[in-house]
A and B are shown apart, each in its own frame.
Chain A
Amino acid sequence: MSTLQENTLPAKQKATRATVHRRLHPTVIVYLALVALLVVGSVLVGLRGEVLLDQNGILNILTRATALGLVAIGQTMVILTGSLDLSVAYLVGLTSLIAAETMAGQDSMVLPGVLLALAVAAGVGLVNGLIITVLKAHAFIATLGVALILRGYLENNYTGPAGDVPRGFQHLGYDRIGPVPIAALLMLAVAALCWWYLTRTRPGYHMYAVGGDIEVARLSGVRTRRTIITAHVLCSVAAGFAGIYLASRLGSGAPYVGTDAGYDLESIAAVVLGGTLLAGGRGGIAGTIGGVLILATLDTTFDALEVDPFFKDVVRGVVLVTAVALYARRMVANRAHGRLS
């Protein structure tokens, strides 16, 4: 059957192309960019006679990265599956309130508070998933609708912070080992778990398949509805974790902690910055964490440099667009070399 291989390149040529391919992997680009950013940031801050990566600076970056990281991990799952979740920001607010109000200052209520918040989050994810799969609404509209419903609920029932987190539970938000917050480590543990789930388990494989081509997945016997719903439930639970963490930091629940920080769009930006295709099917958690760290480092650097907020947003926008353009170029280059996309 030798003729069938007519199009393949000689082994050696192929090997070099494969290394080029690997070297340019988006995840690698993201971490290279992160290192470059840390270097540039350190120099700029250094010029003012300060240090970016001292104990405080590291703490600052990791603290910023924790809540956004949790939300972005969940967002990665839905985006990989070819979906999207715009309701996470309000859900973060809602779950922070549920956790804090259930705890009501009692140590014994910590566990019920956490579980209830996560259960409600899972419920919201289930609703998102069902609207998308059963009612066949586009994910953008479906989750926007759910976001509006959550907003309505929050606006009607809360005017400001509510609930009370017991002192013991605040340790979650503030304890640290050296410059590293415990919560950041927990976030990384969640990331590792989700990485394992996506790259090693069947449901994870199926998320990539559904995002890659839902019709192909269906014809191959993948249960596409279940896969999409699972992704949404996991995404919302991750947002629930972020809400609980923020409650622990603030000492109470706050309806707009999620939206003030813009976690909906911010998490999508982190995912895309991390090299995951917005259309789904390609990318992963490792890149997302890189994207989150880049955004957190940018913010910390700007704060240290005391630049004005407008300039800050401009730079963030430029970074995002540049990254996406870079990945797109890479894909076009692949195509030109005979890779079909």
Chain B
Amino acid sequence: MTTGTTTSVRLTGITKSFLGVPVLRGVDLELRGGEVHAVMGENGAGKSTLLKVLAGVHRPDGGTIEVDGGEVSFAGPSDAQRAGIAIIHQEFTLLPHRSVAENVYLGREPVRRMQVDRRRMVADTRELLDWLGEDGIDPTDPVSSLSVAQRQVVEIVKALSTDARVLGMDEPTAALADHEVELLYDLVRRLRERGIAILYVSHRMREVFDLSDRITVLKDGQFVTCAPTSELTSEDLVRHMVGRDLGEYYPDRGVADDLGPVRLALRGAGNARVRDLNLEVRAGEIVGLAGLQGSGRSAVARAVFGVEPFTRGSMEVDGVARRVTRPRSAVRLGVALVTEDRKGDGLALRQSVRDNTLLVRRAALRGGRARAKSDVPALLDKVAVVARGEHQEVRFLSGGNQQKVVLAKWLAVEPTVLLVDEPTRGIDVGAKRAVHELLRDLAKRGVAVLMISSELPELIGMSDRILVMHDGALAGELPAGASEGAVMALATGHGVGEVP
């Protein structure tokens, strides 16, 4: 890792179209060694595309890229790597079946006497992991045995191993829980001290204000502004991104009197991952489920939905005891699960937006309801999907818009119990607001919502009550508007709340 505060990258007038549709329309960006430069913009604004141009993945249609004053052109990712540019993409770029070291050096394996020099690969990977203070990851472990947070660390090691002087990070915290985000901050700051130029894409305001020195805003593929972070307020930023003001608020909570019957109840339920769960969610309320990554939050949702069913205790849906052992039965009972892993569980990437939206409905319901297509536009509108049309394949949508399609797909079956796991991950501020309003609106219309989110402000802002999990069990319940400190205390196993 060479230090050089003079390193700079300058993009001028970058344009890029996909099949004749312009995605980048003359974007300028300047990046200096030793700064964290945030790029913000709505879903589909072109942030990831810009990073991919810089990474040599896409060739720009027009405009120039200069590195240290000299113009460059990249024929592929390896050219960009040689120029000292490394990008951590929005989607994971790791092979689960291969070892950490093999992933880190993928495409650049050191060779000695015609063979891949495995010893050196492992040693160098270990050195980088040590430098990051990550001695819990062994370079010979398969990536499939690592947690999501550890995978993110491997992505970073992979980028650093190229001796990158310019590091692009596309929503690096989207898959991390709050406490893990702190660790990433630390890392980014250390890299900055080393004189590395960091391009940081994120939808989380707080992060951008904590970390960045300058912010560039894109809208519809166009450059809007670039200013030092200290000169911007979050209201300014939102106005630049969305083009109008959005106050800092969450939709009004329901009134306790409006609460309907208990829609979902768990009594002493448990399986291999969670135990002794007692909880009720009533029609009309949004119940937040908090906890650290690995505490069993998602496992609860997966169990209710029949993915990894409960093996003990009982579960009631609308007052009737039910044994749900597969998702199909759950859907039939009006239960829906919006998963956190949109690529793995959520979407058929090669199918159209419409087919994805109707996927569950067609699969689980019968008759005319299953065939209706006419309300697809309305559904997509509700969650503010930006797509070229209903027939565009989902894999060509921006990350945030894919997430919105997952939501639309579950709204299409009109659930009465809605489980949402990280529903706004990777969604821009404007759309996030839309999703929040949508969830509240559903609750008002009698849906019972169980919401999981690693973003505490969101969870606290949205929930009528908050259940906190620790180590596979409920640690306590907190009322609406509880403080972040109270939630974290329970989540880490220190605090006391009312045990439900």
Residues of chain A at the chain B interface (Cβ within 8 Å): 1, 3-8, 200-202, 205-206, 208-209, 212-213, 215-223, 281-282, 334, 336, 338-341
Closest to A340 in B: B144
Q: Give chain B nearest CB distance to A247 CB in angstroms.
A: 32
Contact partner of A202 (CB less than 8 A), chosen from B95, B97, B116, is B116
Closest to A18 in B: B145
Assembled-state Cα–Cα distance A282/B99 (Å): 12
Q: Specify which chain A residues have a CB less than 8 angstroms from the CB of B62 in the assembled complex.
A: none
Closest to A1 in B: B133
Residues of chain B at the chain A interface (Cβ within 8 Å): 55, 57, 76-78, 81, 89, 92-98, 102, 106-109, 111, 114-116, 132-134, 136, 142, 144-147, 149-150, 153, 158, 179-180, 183, 272, 292-294, 308, 344
Closest to B52 in A: A219
> When A1-B133, A4-B183, A339-B144 are in contact, do A200 and B115 touch as well, CB less than 8 Å?
yes
Max chain B Cβ within 10 angstroms of own Cβ: one of A213, A219, A282: A219
B147:A8 contact, CB within 8 angstroms = yes
Assembled-state Cα–Cα distance A307/B164 (Å): 65
- What 13 new A-B contacts, CB under 8 Å, besides A8-B150, A219-B89, A339-B142? A4-B150, A6-B293, A7-B150, A202-B109, A208-B95, A209-B107, A212-B98, A215-B93, A218-B57, A219-B93, A220-B77, A339-B144, A340-B96
Max chain B Cβ within 10 angstroms of own Cβ: one of A4, A201, A215: A4
Contact partner of B95 (CB less than 8 A), chosen from A7, A212, A218, A334, is A212
A219:B109 contact, CB within 8 angstroms = no
B292:A216 contact, CB within 8 angstroms = no
> When A4-B153, A8-B147, A209-B95 are in contact, do A217 and B107 touch as well, CB less than 8 Å?
yes
Q: Specify which chain B residues have a CB less than 8 angstroms from the CB of A3 in the assembled complex.
A: 179-180, 183
B133:A216 contact, CB within 8 angstroms = no
Q: Give chain B nearest CB distance to A165 CB in angstroms.
A: 35
Q: Specify which chain B residues have a CB less than 8 angstroms from the CB of A7 in the assembled complex.
A: 147, 149-150, 293-294
B294:A222 contact, CB within 8 angstroms = no
Assembled-state Cα–Cα distance A205/B98 (Å): 10
Closest to B97 in A: A282
Q: Give chain B nearest CB distance to A277 CB in angstroms.
A: 9
> When A3-B183, A4-B153, A7-B149 are in contact, do A201 and B115 touch as well, CB less than 8 Å?
yes
> When A219-B89, A336-B308 are in contact, do A200 and B147 touch as well, CB less than 8 Å?
no
Closest to A14 in B: B145
26 contacts between A and B (CB under 8 A): A1-B132, A1-B133, A4-B150, A4-B183, A5-B150, A6-B292, A7-B149, A7-B293, A8-B136, A8-B150, A201-B111, A205-B106, A205-B116, A209-B95, A212-B98, A215-B93, A219-B77, A219-B89, A219-B93, A220-B77, A220-B107, A220-B158, A221-B108, A222-B106, A334-B144, A336-B308
A1:B107 contact, CB within 8 angstroms = no
Assembled-state Cα–Cα distance A223/B76 (Å): 9
B136:A216 contact, CB within 8 angstroms = no
B106:A202 contact, CB within 8 angstroms = no
Q: Specify which chain A residues have a CB less than 8 angstroms from the CB of B89 in the assembled complex.
A: 219
Q: Specify which chain A residues have a CB less than 8 angstroms from the CB of B149 in the assembled complex.
A: 4, 7
Q: Specify which chain B residues have a CB less than 8 angstroms from the CB of A340 in the assembled complex.
A: 96, 144, 344
Q: Specify which chain A residues have a CB less than 8 angstroms from the CB of B183 in the assembled complex.
A: 1, 3-4
Max chain A Cβ within 10 angstroms of own Cβ: one of B55, B97, B108, B132: B97
Q: Specify which chain A residues have a CB less than 8 angstroms from the CB of B109 in the assembled complex.
A: 202, 205
Closest to A213 in B: B95
Q: Specify which chain B residues have a CB less than 8 angstroms from the CB of A223 in the assembled complex.
A: 76
Q: Specify which chain B residues have a CB less than 8 angstroms from the CB of A1 in the assembled complex.
A: 132-134, 183
Max chain A Cβ within 10 angstroms of own Cβ: one of B93, B145, B292: B145
B115:A222 contact, CB within 8 angstroms = no
Max chain A Cβ within 10 angstroms of own Cβ: one of B81, B89, B93, B183: B93
Assembled-state Cα–Cα distance A216/B87 (Å): 12
Q: Specify which chain A residues have a CB less than 8 angstroms from the CB of B150 in the assembled complex.
A: 4-5, 7-8
Q: Give chain A nearest CB distance to B341 CB in angstroms.
A: 9
Q: Give chain B nearest CB distance to A83 CB in angstroms.
A: 17
Q: Specify which chain A residues have a CB less than 8 angstroms from the CB of B158 in the assembled complex.
A: 220
A4:B134 contact, CB within 8 angstroms = yes
Closest to B136 in A: A5
Contact partner of B96 (CB less than 8 A), chosen from A4, A338, A341, is A341
> When A1-B134, A3-B179, A209-B106 are in contact, do A221 and B76 touch as well, CB less than 8 Å?
yes
Assembled-state Cα–Cα distance A220/B77 (Å): 7
Assembled-state Cα–Cα distance A321/B4 (Å): 59
- List the 3 closest pairs (A to B, CB-CB), nearest first: A7-B147, A221-B107, A221-B78
Q: Give chain A nearest CB distance to B326 CB in angstroms.
A: 14
